[in-house]
Amino acid sequence: MAELKDAVLKAMKDAGKPVRPGDVAKMLNVDSKEVSKAIKELKNEGKVISPKRCYYAPNE
């Protein structure tokens, strides 16, 4: 899970704008449910924020 979380965070940073979990899943070619779980954990750790509903971005 740690590898996926790192990949999700990197994909968000590379996107340069708030993204939806489905967009990240397409970028990484993984299941969107797995991405959603990773985002939830990253959000709990304070590494990801949600600037608007259903969109996520790295917490700079």
State the average pLDDT over residues 16-20.
96
Question: For the purposes of burial, counting CB atoms within 10 Å of the CB of 49, is it exposed (0-12), middle (13-18) or buried (19 or more)?
Answer: middle
- Measure the CA angle with vertex 31, ends 28 and 32; round to 5°: 90
Q: Span 31-39, mean pLDDT?
A: 97
Let me know if residue 39 belongs to a domain. yes
Q: Measure the CA–CA gap between 3 and 17, rounded to whole angstroms.
A: 22
Asked whether residue 60 is domain-assigned, the answer is no
Domain assignment present for 35:
yes
Residue 48's domain is classified under what CATH number? 1.10.10
Position 55 scores a pLDDT of 97
Q: How confident is the model at residue 1 (pLDDT cuts 50, 70, 90)?
A: confident
Position 53 pLDDT exceeds 90 = yes
Task: Please indicate, yes or no, if residue 20 is contained in any of the structural domains.
Answer: yes
Q: Kindly state whether residue 17 falls inside one of the protein's structural domains.
A: yes
| Separation of alpha carbons 54 and 20, rounded Å | 6
The whole-chain average pLDDT of the chain stands at: 96
Question: Is residue 38 situated within a structural domain?
Answer: yes
Q: Would you state the pLDDT for residue 60?
A: 79
Domain count, the chain: 1
